[in-house]
């Protein structure tokens, strides 16, 4: 043991080396598998039957069994009362719970890594310690959740094996090497996480701190790779590739992984996980804030809630763009799928999504404005709130307007058709793009105001800086609305392309607007310190709204993504022949989603409670740090 302590630098480097080998292996193995097939192919060319890839349209040797035509016996179920008599409902609940916890434990290490690195970069030692402690608190919360994720993953696997044995055998036969790598990576991730957490104190200084931070990076590499491998199974079911029309593997592992929707789903999920993880941590901080007995604790958890919310919202802003990319790829892959999603069977679920996204923006803006109570001088900006609220509300109303309405024959006659002559115009994508970009821009304005709430700008170019920011938002907003209106008058294929300049305009506001604002705050005078903990109790409920809305959204969008396959297990390759191969009603789906949300939050409260026990034991080692300074560009 003494030797271990004495040579801990050496051991740390060794450990990193082992982790590095795991990373290299995970990258190399899929390629090695591909090479093996490629080498085997020419030797047996004469005998081997060739097939044509359903997506890539390339020829390849048939290297596996085809899709098994399934009957009722392939769906063994318990004789449970409806709806649990449907295997898919049980799998739905297990998969959703696994995904919730999985998202959380994948996202939190990303935040830990960022916050730990920020702590290492900050020159002020007290601030560095505060950031370090915050990162430690984050990872502590996720530790118990990690075990719950693994347990739920095991349950989900057993669920697949017992409820869908034939289907699972087929998927396992295709993805065999990927599944083995997945298991190896899981091992590596667990090892890294435990070293990362338990080694926090031992590796807190000098070179070892850098080794620790590198462990944090590796942890995220493992986690993200794991997620991408699991995504390949879901994206294969939606947009199969690497197989022929009979579902037979054609020997190219990369084609199997790299389906049309794999990368859009990867990007969307990584960002979505970060939003969700930030939301859960913000809810944890709000819970601790409300339960805090001392001003010191209240200040700490207020600060923590702000940082978590900031990270969640920073990730939320690019999320609609990633979602838009995914939808474009869905349309590109199979137009009918896109129509089912956004203009057909599942379209009303997008209206629910719109309401939830609106709730997120309102909750964020409300929290930021409530947070201005902590700052002296914020009253100067109070009058601008009503304009921001007006714009957000107007955009929200356009955003949630459906294309067609559920109406009675009399109403239909009175309106002269399925579409309302005025409001109906807001039901199309052109209007929605304009609306969502408006909501994002108003949130950016709210954040800029928040950043400067307690400051007096002293830079010489303040007039020009302010003019540049105000003019930029004015022109960007008008340009965004112009593009939204212009979209009604041009062909559909050109209209779709208008979303890109709209996004670029919003991103300009985000980066240039915040950039100018931060530059303007250089040398600014403080009207007073940020009084952490001096925020209304109501604001903490806004954090709960954020977290619950994120949870609901994830469940909703996951259901939409999965049910768009309709009566296919594997789109256009493998039919779902189960007795329940139909799409549930929206009401039923909404009830299951809500059950999932409640169940997840019950389990999460249990995880928080367990964390609380741990906190009491470790309080001496990591006492809360009083009066932290503000993040996001100001002190």
73: CB partners within 8 A, 6+ apart: none
331 binds other proteins (CB under 8 A): no
**206 burial level (CB within 10 Å; 0-12, 13-18, 19+):** exposed
Which among 6-14, 353-361, 501-509, 580-588 is the span making contact with other proteins, rule CB under 8 A?
501-509
23 binds other proteins (CB under 8 A): no
Out of 214, 419, 425, 479, name the contact with other proteins by CB under 8 A.
Answer: 479
64 φ/ψ angles, rounded to the nearest 5 degrees:
-170, 175
**472 burial level (CB within 10 Å; 0-12, 13-18, 19+):** middle
460 binds other proteins (CB under 8 A): no
Query: What is the smallest separation between the CB atom of 487 and other proteins, expressed in angstroms?
Result: 9
Nearest to 234 by CA among 500, 530, 569, 540: 569
198 binds other proteins (CB under 8 A): no
Per rule CB under 8 A, count of chain residues that contact other proteins: 26
Out of 31, 161, 397, 490, name the contact with other proteins by CB under 8 A.
Answer: 490
Q: In the complex with other proteins, which residue's Cβ is closer, 2 or 383? A: 383
**582 burial level (CB within 10 Å; 0-12, 13-18, 19+):** exposed
Q: In the complex with other proteins, which residue's Cβ is closer, 397 or 500? A: 500
Q: In the complex with other proteins, which residue's Cβ is closer, 165 or 465? A: 465
Alpha-carbon distance 163 to 157, whole Å? 10
DSSP 8-state assignment for residue 95 = H
25: CB partners within 8 A, 6+ apart: 181, 184
Out of 474, 536, 537, 591, name the contact with other proteins by CB under 8 A.
Answer: 474
498 binds other proteins (CB under 8 A): yes
Show the binding pattern over residues 145-164: x = contacts other proteins (CB under 8 A), - = does not: --------------------
Residues 66, 54: contact at Cβ < 8 Å?
no
Show the binding pattern over residues 274-313: x = contacts other proteins (CB under 8 A), - = does not: ----------------------------------------
384 binds other proteins (CB under 8 A): no
Out of 10, 80, 504, 618, name the contact with other proteins by CB under 8 A.
Answer: 504
Q: To 10 degrees, the CA torsion angle through 633, 508, 365, 289?
A: -30
Q: In the complex with other proteins, which residue's Cβ is closer, 242 or 505? A: 505
510 binds other proteins (CB under 8 A): no
491 binds other proteins (CB under 8 A): yes
Alpha-carbon distance 131 to 119, whole Å? 5
Which among 54-62, 329-337, 459-467, 566-574 is the span making contact with other proteins, rule CB under 8 A?
459-467
Out of 229, 313, 317, 476, name the contact with other proteins by CB under 8 A.
Answer: 476
494 binds other proteins (CB under 8 A): yes
Which among 55-63, 218-226, 493-501, 567-575 is the span making contact with other proteins, rule CB under 8 A?
493-501
Alpha-carbon distance 124 to 334, whole Å? 55
Nearest to 252 by CA among 50, 42, 38: 38
Residues 543, 282: contact at Cβ < 8 Å?
yes
Q: In the complex with other proteins, which residue's Cβ is closer, 54 or 483? A: 483
- Cα separation values, 343 from 5, 348, 396, 425, 608, Å: 63, 9, 20, 14, 41
Which among 113-121, 186-194, 287-295, 502-510 is the span making contact with other proteins, rule CB under 8 A?
502-510
Q: In the complex with other proteins, which residue's Cβ is closer, 397 or 494? A: 494
Out of 389, 475, 527, 581, name the contact with other proteins by CB under 8 A.
Answer: 475
- Cα separation values, 481 from 101, 362, 391, 438, 442, Å: 39, 20, 12, 8, 14
Which among 259-267, 375-383, 461-469, 530-538 is the span making contact with other proteins, rule CB under 8 A?
461-469
600: CB partners within 8 A, 6+ apart: 96, 97, 100, 101, 551
Query: What is the smallest separation between the CB atom of 483 and other proteins, expressed in angstroms?
Result: 7
Alpha carbon 228 to chain centroid, angstroms: 13
Residues 518, 247: contact at Cβ < 8 Å?
no
383 binds other proteins (CB under 8 A): no
- Cα separation values, 391 from 362, 394, 435, 450, 577, Å: 11, 5, 9, 18, 49
397 binds other proteins (CB under 8 A): no
471 binds other proteins (CB under 8 A): yes
Q: In the complex with other proteins, which residue's Cβ is closer, 483 or 549? A: 483
Query: What is the smallest separation between the CB atom of 550 and other proteins, expressed in angstroms?
Result: 30
Binding site for other proteins (CB under 8 A): 463-464, 466-468, 470-472, 474-476, 479, 483, 486, 489-491, 493-494, 497-498, 500-501, 504-505, 508
């Amino acid at each position: 043991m003494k030797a271990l302590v004495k040579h801990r630098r050496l051991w740390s480097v060794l450990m990193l080396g082992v982790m590095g080998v795991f990373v290299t292996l995970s990258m190399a193995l899929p390629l090695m598998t591909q090479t093996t097939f490629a080498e085997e192919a020419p030797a047996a060319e004469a005998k081997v039957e060739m097939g044509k890839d359903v997506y890539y349209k390339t020829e390849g040797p048939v290297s596996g069994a085809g899709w098994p035509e399934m009957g009722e016996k392939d769906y063994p179920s318990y004789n449970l009362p409806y709806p649990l008599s449907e295997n898919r409902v049980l799998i739905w609940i297990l998969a959703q719970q696994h995904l919730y916890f999985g998202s959380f434990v994948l996202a939190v290490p990303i935040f830990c890594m960022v916050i730990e690195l920020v702590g290492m970069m900050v020159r002020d030692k007290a601030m560095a310690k505060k950031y370090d402690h915050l990162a430690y608190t984050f990872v502590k919360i996720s530790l118990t959740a990690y075990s719950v994720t693994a347990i739920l993953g095991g349950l989900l696997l057993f669920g697949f094996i017992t409820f869908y044995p034939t289907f699972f055998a087929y998927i396992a036969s295709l993805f065999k090497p990927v599944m083995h790598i997945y298991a190896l990576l899981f091992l590596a991730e667990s090892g890294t996480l435990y070293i990362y957490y338990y080694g926090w104190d031992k590796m807190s200084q000098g070179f070892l701190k850098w080794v620790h931070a590198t462990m944090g990076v590796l942890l995220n590499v493992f986690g993200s790779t794991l997620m991408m491998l699991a995504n390949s199974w879901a994206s294969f079911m939606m947009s199969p590739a690497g197989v022929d029309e009979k579902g037979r593997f054609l020997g190219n592992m990369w084609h199997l992984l790299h389906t049309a929707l794999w990368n859009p789903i990867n990007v969307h999920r990584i960002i979505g996980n970060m939003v969700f993880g930030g939301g859960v941590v913000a809810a944890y901080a709000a819970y601790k804030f409300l339960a805090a007995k001392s001003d010191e604790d209240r200040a700490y958890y207020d600060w923590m809630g702000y940082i978590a919310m900031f990270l969640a919202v920073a990730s939320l802003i690019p999320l609609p763009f990633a979602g838009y990319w995914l939808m474009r790829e869905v349309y590109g892959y199979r137009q009918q799928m896109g129509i089912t999603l956004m203009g057909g069977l599942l379209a009303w679920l997008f209206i629910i999504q719109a309401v939830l996204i609106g709730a997120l923006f309102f909750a964020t803006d409300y929290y930021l404005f409530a947070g201005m109570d902590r700052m002296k001088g914020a009253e100067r900006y109070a009058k601008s709130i009503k304009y921001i609220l007006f714009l957000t509300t107007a955009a929200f109303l356009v955003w949630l307007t459906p294309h067609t309405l559920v109406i009675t024959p009399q109403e239909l006659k009175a309106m002269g058709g399925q579409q309302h002559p005025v409001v109906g115009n807001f039901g199309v994508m052109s209007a929605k793009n304009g609306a969502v970009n408006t909501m994002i821009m108003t949130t950016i304005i709210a954040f800029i105001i928040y950043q400067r709430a307690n400051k007096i700008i002293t830079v010489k170019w303040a007039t020009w800086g302010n003019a540049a920011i105000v003019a930029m938002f004015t022109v960007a907003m008008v340009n965004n609305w112009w593009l939204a209106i212009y979209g009604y008058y041009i062909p559909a294929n050109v209209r779709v392309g208008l979303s890109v300049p709209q996004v670029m305009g919003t991103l300009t506001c985000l980066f240039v607007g915040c950039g100018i604002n931060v530059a303007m705050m250089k040398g600014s005078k403080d009207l007073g310190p940020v009084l952490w903990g001096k925020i209304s109790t109501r604001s903490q409920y806004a954090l709960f709204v954020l977290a619950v809305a994120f949870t609901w959204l994830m469940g909703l969008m996951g259901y939409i993504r999965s049910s768009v396959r309709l009566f296919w297990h594997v789109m256009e390759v493998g039919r779902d022949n189960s007795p329940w191969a139909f799409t549930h009603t929206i009401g039923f789906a909404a009830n299951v989603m809500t059950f999932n949300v409640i169940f997840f939050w019950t389990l999460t409260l249990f995880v928080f409670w367990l964390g609380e026990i741990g906190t009491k034991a470790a309080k001496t080692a990591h006492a809360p740090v009083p009066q932290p300074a503000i993040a996001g560009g100001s002190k």
